[in-house]
Amino acid sequence: MYPPTARTTATRSRERMSYDRTAAHAVLDEAYHCVLGFTVDGEPRLLPTLHVRVDDTLYLHGSTGSRPLLTARGDAGLPVCVTVTLLDGLIYSRSQFDHSANYRSVVAHGTAHLVTDDAEKAAVLTALVEKVGAGRSADSRPPSRRELAETAVLALPLREVSVRSRTGGVRDEPADLDLPYWAGVVPLRLTAGPPEPDAGVTAPVPAYLRPTGSPWREPVTLRGDHVLLEPLDLAHADELFTATAEPAVWAHLGDALPTDPAGMSAIVATALAAHHRGQRVPWVQRCARTGAVVGATSFYEIDPDRRAVAIGHTWLGRPWWRSGINTEAKLLLLGRAFDELGAVRVVWHTDIRNTRSQEAIARLGATREGVLRMHRQRADGSWRDTVQYAMTVDEWPNAQARLRERLRRTAPVG
């Protein structure tokens, strides 16, 4: 616990106050930025900046030319107040007066000093980089001597610290409970969107920037003799455009044939956005022999509770049709679903007009289950009927043996 002081003791709403060290550290660690307050010539100044906590010291990032950091060079240091707030929800009450918010906030008072020890400074800057992604410090260039000289770090010992928070729901007055207005909580949370690579970047999105959670939603790399399935990335868009730039490839897909690489980038970005929402796991398909990008495929309708998943959103360049690549890609995905994730059911959907796709799915060993009428909209705006196929875990062993025999007779395409 942090001992309360005159500056950290609440004068109102004391039930929301806490001096718990663990709670304070949790808020500071979750937040990426803070507000640094100080005075200049008797006038208040507020500076938004980045921070990182190391043990019981809060480190603040800045420039060696900024006014507060120049002041902090002296032995007396710089008196500061640092605040961090995480907004967790908006409270809609029946009365305007009782509208509120759920939040967690930390206020820290004290005297900050400039970090002058080179080793401590380097360690803090590394900790700042690691905060945005565990492993990032080893995955980027470290600062040069000049960059270190231009960067300043303030150290604030955490001694006078208070936590203030509100949780829960609506707290209307009893007399307002019968009013005919909607009341409730709208949760708020900070979530990362799909990473957007800079121009010219060819490296794949690193693991620490991909969504975490259920293994059902993890696009692990899958290797075969004919095909390599690796996590789809925007960097694949140009090669995908070149490999699949034929109308026949897109004849029955939900997206129209992209007319340029930018159009393919938009399709890939949509797939990645669905992945970040937990709705889809997209892979790019590479020819195992040449390394060329030849297509893409995905898991979707992912349901770990019912242990079911669908395979689809598949594009494959025409030169690789009937090459063994599609067969082995499905074998790898089925093995991932049944053998690694413990699925009991795998589903396919295809346009009722797409007889070629229906025949290919049937050859995998799937069973046609029926037709979903007006199930999806085509790229031209018309509504399609969808044929649904499925394979169960009981059918998987025989299907696996047949697929392996088919692949044994198929030579990899060069």
Name the amino acid, one letter, at 255.
D
pLDDT in tens, 96-121: 999 999 999 999 999 999 998 888 99
- Rounded CA separation 220/218 (Å): 6
- 156 neighbors 108 (Cβ within 8 angstroms): yes
What pLDDT band is residue 190 in, cutting at 50, 70 and 90? confident
Name the amino acid, one letter, at 356.
R
Q: What is the DSSP string of 297-345?
A: EEEEEEETTTTEEEEEEEEE-GGGTTSSHHHHHHHHHHHIIIIIS--SE
Helix (H, G, I), strand (E, B) or coil at 283: strand
- Rounded CA separation 371/311 (Å): 17
pLDDT in tens, 350-388: 999 999 999 999 999 999 999 999 999 988 889 999 999
Instruction: Supply the mean pLDDT for the chain.
Output: 91
Residue 376 sits at φ, ψ, to 5 deg, of: -140, 165
Question: What does the chain come to in residues?
Answer: 414
- What's this model's pTM, rounded to 2 decimal places? 0.67
User: What pLDDT was estimated at residue 68?
Assistant: 63
Sorted by where each starts, the structural domains of the chain and their CATH numbers stand as 14-187 (2.30.110.10), 207-408 (3.40.630.30)
Give the burial string for 374-410 (b: 16+ CB within 10 Å, else e).
Answer: eeeebeeeeebebbbbbbeeebbeebbeebeeebeee
- 84 neighbors 31 (Cβ within 8 angstroms): yes
- Rounded CA separation 133/303 (Å): 28
Helix (H, G, I), strand (E, B) or coil at 174: helix
Q: Which pair of structure tokens corresponds to residue 185?
A: 């909580």
β-strands 78-92, 33-40: how paired? antiparallel
